[in-house]
Amino acid sequence: MHIKLLKILNFKNLEEVNLELSDKLNCFTGKNGAGKTNLLDAIFYLSFTKSYFNNSDSFNVNTNSNFFLIQGEYFRNEKTEKIHCGFSSEKKKVFKRNDKAYKKFSEHIGLLPIVMISPGDSILILGVSEERRKYIDSVISQYDKEYLYFLIKYNKIIKQRNRLLKNFTQSGYFDKDTISIYNNQLAEYGSLIFEKRNDFILKLKPIFSKYYELISKKNETVDLTYKSHLKNDVFLQLLEQNIERDKVLGYTTKGIHRDDLDFAINNFSLRKAGSQGQQKTFLIALKFAQYEFIKEISKISPLLLLDDIFDKFDAERVEEIIKLTSNNNFGQIFITDTNPERVEKVIDKDKGEFKLFNVEKGKII
């Protein structure tokens, strides 16, 4: 799968962009703030119906406009797919596939699998558990429609249960029957989500370890550990056992919405013991493992977006990353860098399967 044509209007600082892209390697160079990352974010948007960086669509509109438009023409499974996204501050967001609007944006997730690697990914290590749950959810949702349905249902029910608990703390009235209904629904969807998350991490771990070893070239042991209340307990029983605590606090204290991932290196916490280089290698290995995992299940090569990943990497690690992305395991790749000379070295000109663009103040040459 690859994107052939990309059109952007008023997305962040990209006022008007029309690109014909290489089906293999596309490199974008320019100064910080020129718009390189915004271009990758627009491509990400066409896969996930949202920005990689901003939850609010209004933050993605160019300051000189009140709307943005992103369109992409893809070649997928021997067919052309035309994807259209339009957002206006005055109208509802529209997302279309081949001129047909989606009723639910969730129906689009997984059609155009994508993996993005960005300096901001450090939040997976340094941030709160919610960031790591989002990561798990974003990966599984790209190949498992059922999982996304379960997750949407679960999140809706947890909000309703929390609202009921909060009302109790304010009014003193407790609706035992309604809580019981919510408990049963949460237990059903939550248990299914737990099984899928647990299965995903178990299968991802050996692939991840392989990539870390390839990139680092060092004798370091790395590990991912999935932490969940459901590892040793039945969900429904947990909800019933903790109801008094939930009533006092006004929210649901047990469940898969509290899940987390532990990252370790040489049996120590990656956050505390890992160097900056080790943490960055860890994240890239994790994303490459994600790529291989999705490709194996979906039988489609995801788009790979590499945003400024060579900064602060030593030459040896950069070389290993380039070797990995240059083989036939990867499909269409997008790379951004502030250093044109570094990109020139990355490109294998003998293959001829690349396009090089310069980005200046939102304009792309």
Q: Write down the pLDDT at residue 327.
A: 72
For the chain, the structural domain boundaries read 1-113+305-313+332-365, 119-299
Question: Encoding tokens for residue 282?
Answer: 């860890």
Beta bridge partners of 333: 25, 304
Q: Write down the pLDDT at residue 343.
A: 78
Q: How many degrees, rounded to 5, is the angle at CA 150 between CA 262 and CA 251?
A: 65
In angstroms, the CA 161 to CA 116 distance is 34
Which overall architecture, per CATH, does domain 119-299 show?
Up-down Bundle (1.20)
Calculate mean pLDDT across residues 273-293: 93
pLDDT beyond 90 at 284: yes
Q: Report yes or no: 61 and 10 within 8 Å, Cβ to Cβ.
A: yes
The DSSP-derived string for 94-147 is EEEETTEE-SSGGGTTTSS-EEEE-GGGGHHHHS-HHHHHHHHHHHHHTT-HHH
pLDDT in tens, 31-75: 999 999 999 999 999 999 999 998 889 999 999 999 999 999 999
| Torsion sign, CA atoms 130, 275, 41, 322 | negative
In angstroms, the CA 249 to CA 305 distance is 42
Calculate mean pLDDT across residues 176-196: 96
User: 185: which residues sit within 8 A by CB, 6+ positions away?
Assistant: 153, 157
Q: What is the pTM of this model?
A: 0.91
pLDDT beyond 80 at 319: no
Q: Which helix (H) or strand (E) holds 201?
A: helix 176-216
pLDDT in tens, 204-215: 999 999 999 988
In angstroms, the CA 278 to CA 212 distance is 9
Residue 261 gets the label, from left (phi > 0), alpha (psi -120 to 50) or beta, of beta
Overall CATH class of domain 1-113+305-313+332-365: alpha beta
pLDDT beyond 80 at 302: yes
Return the higher-pLDDT residue of 183 and 342: 183
Return the higher-pLDDT residue of 86 and 54: 86
What type of residue is 253? Answer: T
Calculate mean pLDDT across residues 132-141: 96
